[in-house]
Amino acid sequence: MTLDYNSLLLALGFSGACLAVTLVMSWAVARTELFLLTWAVGVFLIVVYVVLYAIYVDYPGPLLGAVCYLTLLTGLSALLGAARQFRTGRSPLRPAIIANAILIIIAVPPILMGYDGLGFIAENIAAAILLSATAREYWLGRAEAPGPILGLSALYAAIAFGFLLCAGVLIWNGKLVLGAAPQNWAEDVSLIISIAGMTGIGALSLALNHWRAAGRHRAEARSDVLTGLLNRRAIFDLCSPTPMRQFSAVIAFDLDDFKAVNDSYGHAVGDEVIRAFAEELAAATGRDDRAARLGGEEFVLVLGRTLPDRAEQLAERIRASFAARSIGADQGAFSCTVSAGIAFGTEAGASFESVLKLADKALYSAKSKGRNQVATRHVRLVK
pLDDT for 346 equals: 64
1 pLDDT higher than 50: no
On whether the CB atoms of residues 363 and 340 are closer than 8 A, the answer is yes
What is the mean pLDDT of the segment spanning 367-376? Answer: 90
On whether the CB atoms of residues 72 and 26 are closer than 8 A, the answer is no
CA pair distance 341, 81, nearest whole angstrom: 49
In a domain, 227, yes or no: no
For position 206, which CATH number holds? 1.20.1070.10
What is the mean pLDDT of the segment spanning 76-87? Answer: 88
CA pair distance 137, 118, nearest whole angstrom: 29
On whether the CB atoms of residues 201 and 19 are closer than 8 A, the answer is yes
What are the residues whose beta carbons fall under 8 Å from the beta carbon of 332, sequence distance 6 or more?
none
Q: Which residue has the higher pLDDT, 20 or 156?
A: 156
On whether the CB atoms of residues 184 and 162 are closer than 8 A, the answer is no
* Maximum C-alpha span of the chain: 92
250 and 121 fall within a common domain: no
239 and 343 fall within a common domain: yes
In a domain, 192, yes or no: yes
In a domain, 226, yes or no: no
Cross-strand pairs, 332: none
- Of 12-26, 71-85, 191-205, 353-367, the one with minimum mean pLDDT is 12-26
Phi then psi for residue 32, to 5 deg, are -110, -35
pLDDT for 168 equals: 94
379 pLDDT higher than 50: no
What is the mean pLDDT of the segment spanning 362-375? Answer: 92
pLDDT for 174 equals: 87
233-264 pLDDT tens trace: 888 888 877 777 666 889 999 999 999 888 88
On whether the CB atoms of residues 359 and 343 are closer than 8 A, the answer is yes
Cross-strand pairs, 350: none
In a domain, 291, yes or no: yes
CA pair distance 251, 271, nearest whole angstrom: 22
Instruction: Measure the N-to-C terminal CA separation of the chain; round to a whole number of Å.
Output: 85
Between vectors from CA 115 to CA 4 and to CA 132, what angle results, nearest 5°?
Answer: 65
CA pair distance 260, 262, nearest whole angstrom: 5
Q: Which of 170, 192, 220 is the last residue of a domain?
A: 220
CA pair distance 381, 366, nearest whole angstrom: 9
On whether the CB atoms of residues 239 and 52 are closer than 8 A, the answer is no
In a domain, 144, yes or no: yes
In a domain, 311, yes or no: yes
CA pair distance 258, 238, nearest whole angstrom: 28
On whether the CB atoms of residues 268 and 226 are closer than 8 A, the answer is no
52-74 pLDDT tens trace: 988 988 889 889 988 988 899 88
50 and 194 fall within a common domain: yes
195 and 343 fall within a common domain: no
pLDDT for 42 equals: 86
261 and 158 fall within a common domain: no
pLDDT for 301 equals: 93
159 and 243 fall within a common domain: no
Q: What is the DSSP letter of 372?
A: S
205 and 272 fall within a common domain: no
In a domain, 225, yes or no: no
Can you list the alpha helix ranges (DSSP code H) found in the chain? Answer: 3-30, 34-58, 62-88, 93-112, 116-140, 146-173, 185-222, 232-239, 258-265, 267-284, 308-323, 345-348, 352-368
| Closest by Cα among 368, 4, 23 to 202 | 23
Ranked by mean pLDDT, the top range of 212-226, 270-284, 369-383 is: 270-284
213 pLDDT higher than 80: no
72 and 202 fall within a common domain: yes
Confidence of residue 220 (pLDDT cuts 50, 70, 90): low
Q: Are strands 290-295 and 249-255 parallel, antiparallel or unpaired?
A: unpaired
pLDDT for 169 equals: 93
- Of 61-75, 165-179, 205-219, 291-305, the one with minimum mean pLDDT is 205-219
155-192 pLDDT tens trace: 999 999 999 999 999 999 988 888 888 888 898 888 88
Q: Which domain does 334 fall in, by range? A: 232-381
Q: Which of 220, 242, 271 is the last residue of a domain?
A: 220
167 and 274 fall within a common domain: no
In a domain, 17, yes or no: yes
373 and 332 fall within a common domain: yes
For position 313, which CATH number holds? 3.30.70.270
216 and 257 fall within a common domain: no
310 pLDDT higher than 80: yes
- Quickly count: other Cβ atoms within 10 Å of residue 328's Cβ: 12
201 and 311 fall within a common domain: no
CA pair distance 149, 151, nearest whole angstrom: 5
pTM for this predicted structure:
0.65
Q: Which of 193, 220, 247 is the last residue of a domain?
A: 220
Ranked by mean pLDDT, the top range of 9-18, 215-224, 227-236 is: 227-236
pLDDT for 382 equals: 38
Work out the mean pLDDT of the chain and round it to a whole number: 84
Confidence of residue 2 (pLDDT cuts 50, 70, 90): very low
24-39 pLDDT tens trace: 777 776 666 778 888 8
Amino acid in the structure at residue 145: A
CA pair distance 57, 183, nearest whole angstrom: 10
On whether the CB atoms of residues 82 and 35 are closer than 8 A, the answer is yes
**What is the tally of structural domains in the chain?**
2
Q: CA 157 → CA 61, 210, 315, distances in Å?
A: 30, 23, 51
